[in-house]
Structure 1
Amino acid sequence: AKTTLYRRWAGKSELVVDAVAELFDALELPDRGSLEADIEDVVLQFAQLLRRPEARTALMAVVSESTRDEALRCRIRSAIVDRQKRLVVLGRERAQARGELPYEEDEALAGLATDLIFDVIAGTVVHRALVSCEPVDEVWVSAFTALLMHGLRGADRP
């Protein structure tokens, strides 16, 4: 019943945010043995999720609505963004344990690195899948991951 819904959610947007958050909570970071392989896997999972009509429509709707609603932006940040940063933290920890990434001694810099990694990956995939409507397939994901891993100079350049 409508009254039951409004006891838990203040409005339709909040309900949609929680529904989208549940979809995103299904994303997992498998341990495929290397940071590069882990990134490729989770990006492909994310792209597959964004191909689902209900995820695509709901995400675009709440993001659009949040441009006019600061409280909704905060809810999106806490229910979706902050919860999904767990994947970045886990990926960095695994990569550090394998010796692929250095440990960050400064907690503020570690937090900044987590934010940057999340923003680059999520922002790029969302833009490509939902704004540009270009495929996020294995070829693209491999090129994107190589760019992340090696930067603009590439792997073979000094």
Structure 2
Amino acid sequence: MIKVVRAKLHGITVTGADLNYHGSITLDPEICAQAGIYPMEFVEIWNRNSGARISTYVIFGEPGSGCCILNGAAARTCQRGDVIIIAASEYTTPDRLYTLKPRILTFTAGNRVDRVLRYDVFKGPDRAFDFRTLDITAGEDAAALEPVPILD
């Protein structure tokens, strides 16, 4: 088994940090639904401003609010305004990589979804596992034929 990314929120902005809350990250459930992230699911969080990396679980906040609030001990790793990456993962076998279709959301100011991307693993001409990122913002059928640049 290998651990792979299943869903990702790339470049979401922290809207709050509540040290006195009893743990977790509070996220807008509409954003989570679009990416495929579930309540109580453990996620990894990478702070692009500080380099901090943590793991915690998701709880849902106010729908449509764009909230991204670090709670409890996690609040020490992120400040309001920090830009973070949140990744949900799963364990699978390498042969199943061809059927996984992780969704990646990117964000504008105010934590509004800017683009919807999908990671795609396929058998390439020179290797068994090749990789590309597809822009599916306009829907799965409108996926770019050319790979879009990988975001860092």
TM range (shorter): under 0.3
Greater Rg over alpha carbons, structure: 1
Output the TM-score relative to the length of structure 1: 0.27
Greater share of strand: 2
TM-score normalised by structure 2 residue count? 0.27
